[in-house]
Amino acid sequence: MKATFTKLELHFKRPVGTSRGIMHIKNSWILKLTENGITGVGEISIIEGLSPDFQNSESFEKKIQEVCEELEHGAWNMEHGLSSVKTFPSIKFGFETALLDLQNGGKGIIFDNDFTHRKHKLPINGLIWMGDESFMNEQIEQKLTEGFSTLKMKIGAMDFETELKLLESIRKRYSKNEITLRVDANGSFTPHHAELALKQLSELDIHSIEQPIQVGQWEEMKNLCAVSPTPIALDEELIGIEDLSKKIELLETICPQYIILKPSLHGGISGTQEWIHLAEERNIPWWLTSALESNIGLNAICQLAGEYNNPLPQGLGTGSLYTNNVESDLVVEKGFIFKKVMSEK
């Protein structure tokens, strides 16, 4: 087997605001595994300041190269993977994707299911990025015009009262039966402030809030989940939790209403599947979200979502963010993502 990788610098169509500042570009590494004339492709995608396995490009690329060499010498198998990437979820995701693609003939098929075969559409939320009031209003109007019935608004960039007014403006026009509203706080509240904020959000029939307080405060998060009138979803809280026993401890200590999974951050494909299994055992609903991958990684995550009968809208509408995205057959239309039907030749 031959393993190679190249860096892909993705350029946002317009800078996007996150809890980690303004992003103009996002880096990925495209991995290719070739054997017997067939090539499998995967994406190793990171978000600086959030990905637990990324410190700098030099050391990161060195790690990717090490894994490539191990694989070329036959040190990898899909059942157990490489122990050396256990704490490198983005690298693990890229290699798992490429190997599955390779095993399935190098045609971009990661999972053989109805989504992959263009027979099923996945509901997704429309993402409203942080920014000033006018920019966020502009995005809200655009997503509503495009037919989204679930909106997810990132909060924490402006003062909370202004963000509440934006949410109120939507709720005045659309009831919870017409438009589902999710918010993502990225840990922007203190535990004390969160209690009041969660009550105010509940008055607007908010579906859920992601990560209201900073990670690592398990007791505080447990208390919030127990009393909050707004359901709480864990996201960043799951990053870096790799051991099965620790995952169980987290879920059974905090008892969240939802968990949100990003394969590039939460243990690759196999780690994400383990989280799903543990959550379903405990009747905790979940959904998948892109970690700003190109269409290569997004395709894999969509196919992974297609393995499950999950009616909740997924967070997979990020393919249109970049000026130089990889060409894809993924289509977003009226709040769904699906593979377009290829015309017969």
pLDDT tens digits, one per residue of 192-212: 999 999 999 999 999 999 999
Domain-wise residue ranges, the chain: 2-103, 122-339
Per DSSP, 83 falls in state G
Provide the whole-model pTM. Answer: 0.94
30 and 41 in contact (C-beta within 8 Å)?
Answer: yes
User: Does 32 qualify as catalytic in the annotation?
Assistant: no
d(CA 224, CA 81) in angstroms, rounded, equals: 37
First to last CA, the chain: 34
pLDDT tens digits, one per residue of 296-335: 999 999 999 999 999 999 999 988 899 999 999 999 999 9
Helix (H, G, I), strand (E, B) or coil at 333: strand
> Number of C-alpha atoms within 13 angstroms, CB side, residue 227?
12
pLDDT tens digits, one per residue of 258-267: 999 999 999 9
CATH assignment of 2-103? 3.30.390.10
Annotated catalytic residue within 262, 339, 340, 345: 262
Q: What is the reported pLDDT for 154? A: 87
pLDDT tens digits, one per residue of 122-143: 999 999 887 778 888 898 899 9
Fold: same for 2-103 and 122-339: no
Q: What is the reported pLDDT for 19? A: 63
User: Does 222 qualify as catalytic in the annotation?
Assistant: no
pLDDT tens digits, one per residue of 65-106: 999 998 898 866 666 666 779 899 999 999 999 999 999 999
d(CA 132, CA 115) in angstroms, rounded, equals: 37
Per DSSP, 52 falls in state T
Give me the architecture of the 122-339 domain, per CATH.
Alpha-Beta Barrel (3.20)
Which class for 226: exposed (0-12), middle (13-18), buried (19 or more C-beta within 10 A)? exposed
| Residues in a beta bridge with 130 | 17
Q: What is the reported pLDDT for 273? A: 98
Residue 14 confidence class, pLDDT cut points 50, 70, 90: confident
Structure tokens at 193: 């402030």
d(CA 157, CA 16) in angstroms, rounded, equals: 11
The percentage of residues in the chain with a pLDDT greater than 70, rounded to a whole number, is 96
Residues contacting 297, CB < 8 A, separation 6+: 28, 42, 43, 45, 93, 94, 97, 263, 264, 290, 291
Q: What is the reported pLDDT for 78? A: 65
pLDDT greater at residue 19 or residue 218: 218
Q: What is the reported pLDDT for 344? A: 40
Residue 345 confidence class, pLDDT cut points 50, 70, 90: very low
Residues contacting 326, CB < 8 A, separation 6+: 8, 30, 294, 295, 296
- The closest of 125, 189, 191 to 163, measured between CA atoms, is 189
Annotated catalytic residue within 32, 154, 247, 339: 154
d(CA 224, CA 229) in angstroms, rounded, equals: 9
Per DSSP, 143 falls in state H
Ordered strands of the 336-339 beta sheet: 122-123, 336-339, 330-333
149 and 179 in contact (C-beta within 8 Å)?
Answer: yes
The percentage of residues in the chain with a pLDDT greater than 90, rounded to a whole number, is 82
Report the pLDDT averaged over residues 164-172.
92
